[in-house]
Chains A and B, each alone.
Chain A
Amino acid sequence: DQQVKQNSPSLSVQEGRISILNCDYTNSMFDYFLWYKKYPAEGPTFLISISSIKDKNEDGRFTVFLNKSAKHLSLHIVPSQPGDSAVYFCAASARRDDKIIFGKGTRLHILP
Chain B
Amino acid sequence: DGGITQSPKYLFRKEGQNVTLSCEQNLNHDAMYWYRQDPGQGLRLIYYSQIVNDFQKGDIAEGYSVSREKKESFPLTVTSAQKNPTAFYLCASIGTGLYGYTFGSGTRLTVV
Task: Tell me whether A43 and B104 are in contact (CB under 8 A).
Answer: yes
CB distance from A101 to the nearest CB of B (A): 8
Task: Tell me whether A42 and B101 are in contact (CB under 8 A).
Answer: no
- Cβ of A44 within 8 Å of any chain B Cβ, yes or no, is yes
Task: Tell me whether A104 and B105 are in contact (CB under 8 A).
Answer: no
Task: Tell me whether B105 and A100 are in contact (CB under 8 A).
Answer: no
Task: Tell me whether B90 and A43 are in contact (CB under 8 A).
Answer: yes
A105 with B103: in contact, given A97-B95, A97-B96 (CB under 8 Å)? Answer: no
> How many residue pairs at the A-B interface have CB separations less than 8 Å?
60
- Enumerate chain B residues within 8 angstroms of A101, measured Cβ to Cβ: 45
Task: Tell me whether A49 and B100 are in contact (CB under 8 A).
Answer: yes
A43 with B41: in contact, given A49-B99, A96-B99 (CB under 8 Å)? Answer: no
CB distance from B16 to the nearest CB of A (A): 27
Task: Tell me whether A104 and B103 are in contact (CB under 8 A).
Answer: no
CB distance from A77 to the nearest CB of B (A): 18
In the assembled complex, the Cα of A9 lies from the Cα of B40 at a distance in Å of 8
**Chain A interface residues (CB < 8 Å from chain B):** 6, 9, 32, 34, 36, 41-46, 49, 89, 96-97, 99-105
Inter-chain pairs besides A42-B105, A44-B90, A97-B97, 10 sampled, C-beta below 8 Å: A36-B100, A43-B90, A44-B101, A96-B98, A97-B31, A97-B95, A100-B33, A102-B44, A103-B42, A104-B41
Provide a sorted-by-A list of 19 A–B residue pairs whose CB atoms are within 8 angstroms: A41-B88, A41-B106, A42-B106, A43-B92, A43-B104, A44-B43, A49-B99, A89-B42, A96-B97, A96-B98, A97-B94, A97-B96, A97-B98, A99-B33, A99-B58, A102-B43, A102-B44, A104-B42, A105-B42
**Chain B interface residues (CB < 8 Å from chain A):** 4, 6, 31, 33, 35, 40-45, 48, 58, 88, 90, 92, 94-106, 108
